[in-house]
Chains A and B, each alone.
Chain A
Amino acid sequence: MSSVLDVVLSSAFLAAALRIATPYLLAALGGLVAERAGISNIALEGQMLSAACTGALVAGYSGSVTVGALCGVAVATLLGVLLAALRLELGADAIIAGIGLNLLASGGTAYAVYSLLDDKGGTSGLKSGSLPTVTLPGVENVPVLGDVVSGQNMVTWLAFLAAPFVAWLFYRTRFGFHLRAVGEMPDAAASVGIAVRRVQYTGLALSGALAGLAGVFLSMGYVSFFVRDMTAGRGFIALAAVFLGGMRPWGVFLAALGFGAAEALAVQLGSLDVPPQLVSTIPYAMTLVALALYAWRRKRRGRVVPTAASL
């Protein structure tokens, strides 16, 4: 048991937790923006996957990591706009349309990689490089802190900045104000002259962009190549984090961080004498426990706080 504790307290584990939490953070905040705009973005998974694939391919062929990353984010943004269009223009169910986009992304990326590189597995044959890491000159040599914080990928930094950014957007800006109103009461927003659709399109574009950044991190930060279906359900876990976090930016931030830590734990414990099958269930078991806890707490709160009927 003490070996488990050693693992958890090691700086290597903490650094891994931050790294692994990165895609969860970005995708979950993306999911949050869409959810608060009133359209569930089930397509987070597909947007991440498309961005990961586009990023690796474009970077590989153009030789520019920056261009690759930007193209990846752009593709995910367009998928976000596409989901909004399917919902708003054609009246499609957002869940069904999202599932459709996920299947399209899974098949489409595999097809693109196969037709370009003649490889069914991924782009490991292509040299596409990865996004730069950030070393902090002073902090680098501080024990533990230096190991954990310094040398993280720049996208990890962006992911941690995304939470305050989304909170600021939601609660301080006019756009965030309108976005929340549109998601909660579209009729009320429309009746005061807010352009409901435009707000929802913008929200879904932002959602896609955040998911895209998460995807780009997977193929250009985590590793430096694209593997078929490499998102492995992260989009759905991110969606769970949206609800677990109570649809609030900092709540979602903590939930996503929790999922990242759980997965990091699973990875680190793999080196110990624990059955790997058991270890790999940790993130999922944690999801279930957390969701149950959340539901229980909400039920209790519902009972304690009476609906005030002041006159």
Chain B
Amino acid sequence: MNEPWGEDGPAVAARQVTKTYANGVRAVRAVDLEVPPGEIRAVVGENGAGKSTLMKMFYGLEQPSTGEILVGGRPRVLRGPASAIALGVGMVHQNLMLVPSFTIAQNVVLGVEPGRRGLVDPKAAVETTARLAEESGLTVDPKARVDEVSVGMRQRTEILKALHRQARVLILDEPTAVLTPQESEDLFAAVRRLRDGGMTVLFISHKLREVREISDQVSVMRAGALVGTIATADATERSLASMMVGRDMSLDVDRTPARPTDTTLRVRGLRYEAPTGQSLHGLDFDVAAGEIVGVAGIEGNGQSELAEILAGLRRPTTGTVHIDGTDTAGLDVAGHRRAGIGYVPEDRLHNGAALDASIADNLVVDRHERPPLARHGVLHPGAVRAHAEQLIDQYAIRTPDPSVPVRALSGGNMQKVIVARELSAQPSLLIASQVTRGVDIGAMRFMYERLVDARDTGAAVLLISADLTELLALSDRLLVLKDGRLVARFDDTTGLTEKRVGLYMLGVEEHDRGRLTTGLENVGEEAP
């Protein structure tokens, strides 16, 4: 089914490729990239560096403004994914492109279904999928519905999709963002096997440790241009990071040992019956002022529900939550904020900011009714503006003006607006959920420093994250959630490895209840 490839030359290549969008943004500038067959090539860069745009051009989702794309050694015009697929290019997108109500087998064959005269042969689909899974070592259950299987299996389904289309080039866009360390290792093993079978793999990532582990060569992009390509063996995380940002930059956080004082957050016997999503089954934990407590877990194991309960957006079924001794039962969201809770939601686009409102307005939404911003219920525009200018300066939000709508900002700057609002309210408890998701290294580092600052000025911080590296770098203590239960508690995070935490996230190991509740007062009195 594939169009012929040239005898030799690179599997995919870009020659002087530039992409300028209709609105004038130049996402990719004069990139020359060659990837020989049978190589795992990592492409790294900050958000907005142009790596996704470049990959979309290889997959036909975008067309270069100037320059040419080569597949199989010949220049090609890719009008859409269909022509890229016909040339043997497959792509696994960051947000997986699967139909939830279809089975895995149906998703694998979608678009190139087996069967005759316009009909689909469901049995052949299952057989094909099972055979491909067997051959590639990517274990899936062909008859399971996609919305009922784990993220890891969904991702394997995506790769099988590409294999079913006889892909010779596989583009993986940040494939490990949603995986546990163990799942990532399985993925790497499968990718290496594919490479050994002759597959060319383009691996997009910003996790430098993984890049070093999986790739043969690394290409670094910055601001739309290709900075350079080096053999992975010669690269260090530090050298890659400085290539990415153009200056020496490290993500190591200088962090003095925590000096926790009194208990700020006290959660006892917290149960929550979720109509949809994950229920919580009896959580007991404390967070003291002056410490960062991390919450690890595979996404969807109750982290979002816990964060929303603590922020007052959902009501627990039973159990109590105290903030500085105040029982939050019966308080509305504003009441929770008054009790001293700050909340950075995981989905900043939907819950964090009003995207079409200005930066200034977004910065005052929790305090607009109070002096000095308003008197007798009337806003003072001057005060609102001055307030915004001060925070923009303090939090290094890159914008020409406070009246710019939040939608126009980059992910990192958008997040800074939200963090600025939440931290400037001086909460006694900050719930930070996926605070660095999708932000670049510069902004990430900035967030880390702010969280540690908040801790050192006496705030209790509950840090919920899918990024274990981040959790281990920042947390003074670490909790692990699995299936809505606390399964582990580490009171000292020094020397703790991602792999070890991963075992608890997967449920292979578990701490006993004694260890989970050591030193907590009044445990069990509210439990049913």
Contact mask for chain B residues 412-427; partner A; CB cutoff 8 A; 1 contact, 0 none: 0000000000000000
Name which residue of chain B comes closest to A303, CB basis: B275
Task: Decide if A187 touches B97 in the complex (CB within 8 Å).
Answer: yes
Residues of chain B within 8 A of A3, CB atoms compared: none
The answer, yes or no, to whether B119 is at the interface (CB within 8 Å) is yes
Residues of chain A within 8 A of B161, CB atoms compared: 192
Name which residue of chain A comes closest to B164, CB basis: A192
A185-B100, A194-B111, A310-B150 known; A299+B275 contact, CB < 8 A: yes
Contact mask for chain A residues 273-294; partner B; CB cutoff 8 A; 1 contact, 0 none: 0000000000000000000000
Task: Decide if A310 touches B149 in the complex (CB within 8 Å).
Answer: yes
Task: Decide if A184 touches B99 in the complex (CB within 8 Å).
Answer: yes
Name which residue of chain A comes closest to B93, CB basis: A191
> Which one of B78-86, B190-198, B460-468 contacts A?
B78-86
Per a CB cutoff under 8 Å, which of A175, A190, A307 touches B276?
A307
A189 to B102, CA, bound (A): 12
A172-B119, A173-B118, A174-B119 known; A309+B483 contact, CB < 8 A: yes
A37 to B149, CA, bound (A): 25
* Size class of the B contact interface (CB-based, 8 Å): 35 or more
Per a CB cutoff under 8 Å, which of A174, A184, A303, A307 touches B118?
A174
The answer, yes or no, to whether A308 is at the interface (CB within 8 Å) is yes
A303-B275, A309-B301 known; A190+B81 contact, CB < 8 A: yes
User: How many residues of chain A are within 8 Å of chain B by beta carbon?
Assistant: 27
The answer, yes or no, to whether B300 is at the interface (CB within 8 Å) is yes
A185-B99, A299-B275 known; A192+B150 contact, CB < 8 A: no
Per a CB cutoff under 8 Å, which of A173, A180, A189, A191 touches B91?
A191
Query: In chain A between 119 and 160, which residues have their CB closer than 8 angstroms to a CB of chain B?
Result: none
Task: Decide if A180 touches B278 in the complex (CB within 8 Å).
Answer: no
Name which residue of chain B comes closest to A299, CB basis: B275
Residues of chain A within 8 A of B165, CB atoms compared: 192
The answer, yes or no, to whether B148 is at the interface (CB within 8 Å) is yes
Task: Decide if B100 touches A193 in the complex (CB within 8 Å).
Answer: no
The answer, yes or no, to whether B115 is at the interface (CB within 8 Å) is yes
Per a CB cutoff under 8 Å, which of A175, A185, A190, A311 touches B98?
A185
Shortest CB-to-CB span from B78 to chain A, Å, is 11
Task: Decide if A177 touches B277 in the complex (CB within 8 Å).
Answer: no
Task: Decide if A184 touches B100 in the complex (CB within 8 Å).
Answer: yes
Residues of chain A within 8 A of B93, CB atoms compared: 191
Residues of chain A within 8 A of B276, CB atoms compared: 302, 307
Per a CB cutoff under 8 Å, which of B61, B100, B150, B275 touches A309?
B150
Shortest CB-to-CB span from B63 to chain A, Å, is 15
Shortest CB-to-CB span from B134 to chain A, Å, is 19
Shortest CB-to-CB span from B84 to chain A, Å, is 8
Task: Decide if A308 touches B148 in the complex (CB within 8 Å).
Answer: yes
Task: Decide if A193 touches B150 in the complex (CB within 8 Å).
Answer: no
The answer, yes or no, to whether A262 is at the interface (CB within 8 Å) is no
Residue from B82, B153, B483 with most neighbouring chain A CB atoms (10 Å): B82
Contact mask for chain B residues 106-144; partner A; CB cutoff 8 A; 1 contact, 0 none: 110011110100111000000000000000000000000
Query: In chain A between 154 and 176, which residues have their CB closer than 8 angstroms to a CB of chain B?
Result: 172-175
Shortest CB-to-CB span from A171 to chain B, Å, is 8
Residues of chain A within 8 A of B119, CB atoms compared: 172-174
The answer, yes or no, to whether A181 is at the interface (CB within 8 Å) is yes
Task: Decide if A302 touches B275 in the complex (CB within 8 Å).
Answer: yes
The answer, yes or no, to whether A188 is at the interface (CB within 8 Å) is yes
Residues of chain A within 8 A of B502, CB atoms compared: none
Task: Decide if A181 touches B81 in the complex (CB within 8 Å).
Answer: no
A172 to B294, CA, bound (A): 49
A107 to B112, CA, bound (A): 46
Residues of chain A within 8 A of B118, CB atoms compared: 173-175
Residues of chain A within 8 A of B85, CB atoms compared: 192-193
Name which residue of chain B comes closest to A191, CB basis: B97
Shortest CB-to-CB span from A137 to chain B, Å, is 34
Binding site for A on B (CB under 8 A): 61, 80-82, 85, 91, 93, 97-102, 106-107, 110-113, 115, 118-120, 148-150, 152-153, 161, 165, 183, 273, 275-279, 298, 300-301, 483, 506
Binding site for B on A (CB under 8 A): 172-175, 177-178, 180-181, 184-185, 187-194, 299, 302-303, 306-311
- 15 A-B contact pairs sorted by A residue (CB < 8 Å): A174-B115, A174-B118, A174-B119, A180-B101, A181-B102, A184-B101, A188-B99, A188-B107, A191-B97, A192-B85, A192-B161, A302-B276, A303-B275, A307-B300, A308-B148
